[in-house]
Amino acid sequence: MSDGSIQPVLTDREFKKISAFVYDVCGIKLPPIKKTMLSARLQKRLRQLRITSFSDYFSYVLSPEGRAHELPLMIDVVSTNKTDFFREAKHFDVLTTRVLPDFVKRFAQGNRKLLRVWSAGCSSGEEPYTLAMVLDDFFSKVAGIDFSILATDICTEVLAKAEKAVYHDAGLEPIPTRFRYKYLMRGKGQQKGYHRVVPELRRKVSFQRLNFMDKCFAIDHKMDIIFCRNVIIYFDKKTQADLFAKFREQFMAYGYLFIGHSESLEGPAGQMERVASAVYKCVK
pLDDT in tens, 34-61: 889 889 889 888 988 999 899 999 999 9
pLDDT in tens, 94-136: 999 999 999 999 998 888 899 999 999 899 999 999 999 999 9
Question: How far is the C-alpha of 267 from the C-alpha of 178, rounded, in Å?
Answer: 41
Distance CA 219, CA 210 (A): 9
Residues catalogued as catalytic:
41, 153
User: Is residue 199 packed enough to be buried (19+ CB in 10 Å), middle (13-18) or exposed (0-12)?
Assistant: exposed
Burial 215-224 (b: 16+ CB within 10 A, else e): eebeeeeebb
- Report the run of H or E that residue 227 belongs to, with start and end: strand 223-228
pLDDT tens-place string over residues 190-207: 889 999 999 999 999 999
For strands 273-276 and 184-186, give the pairing. Answer: unpaired
User: How many angstroms separate the CA atoms of 264 and 75, rounded?
Assistant: 25
Helix axes 156-164, 71-78, angle to 10 degrees: 80
Tell which residue, 274, 278, 220, 272, has the closest CA to residue 250.
220
Mean pLDDT of 222-228: 95
| Structural domains of the chain, with CATH | 12-78 (1.10.155.10), 90-167+199-283 (3.40.50.150)
Residue 4: the pLDDT is 47
Q: Which residue, 263, 268, 135, is CA-closest to 204? A: 135
Stated pTM of the model: 0.82
CA distance 191 to 158: 19
The percentage of residues in the chain with a pLDDT greater than 70, rounded to a whole number, is 95
Q: What is the pLDDT of residues 132-186, one digit of tens each?
A: 999 999 999 988 899 999 999 988 889 999 999 999 999 999 999 999 999 999 9
Instruction: Please tell me the distance from the alpha carbon of residue 222 to that of residue 218, in angstroms, as a whole number.
Output: 11
* Predicted pLDDT of residue 6: 66
Give the containing element (helix H, strand E) for 276: strand 273-276
Bridge pairing between strands 146-153 and 194-197: unpaired
Q: Residue 129 has what DSSP assignment?
A: H
- φ/ψ region of 125 (left if φ > 0, alpha if ψ in -120 to 50, else beta) reads left
